[in-house]
Structure 1
Amino acid sequence: MTSTGKWTDGVEGVLLDITGVLYESGPSEAIQGSLEAVKRLKEAGLPVRFCTNETTCTRQVLVDRLKGFGFDIKPEEVFPPIPAMCQVLKERNLRPHLLIHPNASADFSDVTTENPNCVVLGDAIHEFSYANLNKAFQILVSLNNPILFSLGKGRYYKDEGNLVLDVGSFCRALEYACDIEAEVVGKPSATFFNTAVKNMGLNAEKVVMVGDDIVSDVGGALASGMRGVLVRTGKYRSTDEDHPTVKPSAIVNNLSEAVDILIKSRKPNWDGLAELA
């Protein structure tokens, strides 16, 4: 699909992925045009929420990083998986064994982890050792009702110019070993997407998601009743455009181009009005 079309019709809110859409992972700077794009969306009166599977740091660290790039962003506009995960754990009286990145542990400070009765898997990066994965496996198989949570289920992402394994790859290993299916808290879960949509006071059909992940971002958004726009930045690969099951509402070069199309679609057709006068 080209970057023009009807995906803009009736859009009243925008969800944005962060890494690969606003900035590239690793030591970097904002992707060209993304700062101005976010600013233009807000100036146009469109509510914007940032829906991310980032679990290698706390939400506050992520917000501070984005502010360091120059983005005007508030913590309450950012929807990462960990706060939602903590809420689920409390509601269900669960005590997790955490296999997460050490930098993200502060966001679990209020969660009881003694005598675990479930496992929570995040993007642990170097913590994904055999010993740590085996420990998670042993806890799961020791439970009468093993519960595995995965903070997202991406297969890979881009870090410092290279594609690297994401949490979904390790989640699949535990699912196979324990013969269970993980509960996903994060993209592409419809529940996770809809939390951000409801926060804007909108219905899913009025919202567009812009992301660089054809499955988690675009596919998840489409399955949730939203439009899904794929950008050719971040982890994007040319083969994404011919995905066998996920067909984006549009494919654009970057966030700036998506916003240009969206903003222009909202302007009155002054030429047509002049002809009618």
Structure 2
Amino acid sequence: MRAMAAAAATAAAWAQRLAGVRGLLLDVSGVLYDGGDGGGTAIPGSVEAVARIKQSGLKLRFCTNESQKSRDKFVGLLQRLGFDISVNEITSPAPAACQILKERGLRPYLLVHDDVLPEFNEMDTSNPNCVVIADSGDSFSYQNVNKAFRVLVSLENPVLISLGEGRYYKESDGLMLDVGPYVKALEYACDIRAEVVGKPAPEFFQAALREMGLEAHETIMIGDDIVSDVGGAQRCGIRALQVRTGKFRPCDEHHPEVKADGYVNDLAEAVDLILQYANK
């Protein structure tokens, strides 16, 4: 009897958390796949989970801070791993950054990965008056970071635009430093604050909602980052689940500032729950 009561209470709790969900925002790295040699590997059950979401009629948007690949290359990688995904389903920070640069007449010094440079082909990079920084991988050399520092410190009103501010992410061989630590170094050296384009910035999540045509209360975010994915979404009024894949660590469930609306083992379990309870 106690077991039945506990199961009923758990079901009721999930039904309350997931009621009225009409669309999903999915993080990609650590939720769909783990990067690594050869492009990485799909997390077990994630290919099928994405297919089930699409078959269900729920709206779907892939929300990523990926900045080591252009959107075309990124989608090509995911397709090779078996995912049903297209470029127009991706919300990522590079296009938003380009729009900001155009609107404000900014000429960037690009501290970005070589594979994402095509996203900035239309930008004037001569005589830079700002810095755009992203996860540059091995390009985060002292020389390149120092060039960015010199650009910023030479400006009367320095502008640093960051494609996300993640601390680290997971690849198949372990955790990797993300762009955030390098952003903090430039902020400290230049006594400035970066403008973040991407998660956890509210504008990023609001753009994804507009692209889906849904309100925040109709949407749920699924990610592996307790701060950028979960915290960022919740600050916009979006419910958020954290998966125990990717960069997840057990201490995330006891984070001092952010508590997910639910914790699930992986995307497959999240989709099982959403399809079971969202319309109840």
Under TM normalisation by the shorter chain, which class is it? over 0.9
1:273 aligned residue: none
Question: Which of 89, 98, 118 does residue 106 from structure 1 map onto?
Answer: 118
Question: Which of 207, 220, 231 does residue 208 from structure 1 map onto?
Answer: 220
> In structure 2, what is the Cα distance between the partners aligned to 1:50 and 1:7?
21
Moved over 3 A (4+): none
In angstroms, what is the RMSD of aligned CA positions? 1.3
Question: Which of 13, 18, 22 does residue 12 from structure 1 map onto?
Answer: 22
2:7 aligned residue: none
Work out the number of aligned pairs and report it: 267
Q: Structure 1 stretches of 5 or more lacking a match?
A: 269-277
1:66 aligned residue: 78
Is structure 2 residue 199 aligned with structure 1 residue 199? no
Is structure 2 residue 174 aligned with structure 1 residue 162? yes
> In structure 2, what is the Cα distance between the partners aligned to 1:107 and 1:21?
24
1:232 aligned residue: 244
Question: Which of 165, 171, 180 does residue 153 from structure 1 map onto?
Answer: 165
Question: Which of 44, 49, 52 does residue 64 from structure 2 map onto?
Answer: 52
The alpha-carbon deviation at position 267 of structure 1 amounts to: 5.8
Residue 34 of structure 2 aligns to a residue in which SS?
coil
Letter in 1 for 2:60: V
Normalised by the length of structure 1, the TM-score is 0.94
Q: 1:115 to 1:9 in 2, by over 3 A?
A: same
Is structure 2 residue 187 aligned with structure 1 residue 175? yes
Residue 7 of structure 1 aligns to a residue in which SS?
helix
The alpha-carbon deviation at position 160 of structure 1 amounts to: 2.5
1:218 aligned residue: 230
Q: 1:91 to 1:267 in 2, by over 3 A?
A: closer
> In structure 2, what is the Cα distance between the partners aligned to 1:45 and 1:81?
26
Letter in 2 for 1:240: D
Normalised by the length of structure 2, the TM-score is 0.93
> In structure 2, what is the Cα distance between the partners aligned to 1:164 and 1:129?
15
Letter in 2 for 1:212: D
Residue 73 of structure 1 aligns to a residue in which SS?
coil
Residue 164 of structure 1 aligns to a residue in which SS?
strand
Which digits, 9 at most, give the CA deviation of each residue in 1:213-239, with x for residues without a partner? Answer: 110001101111101110000011111
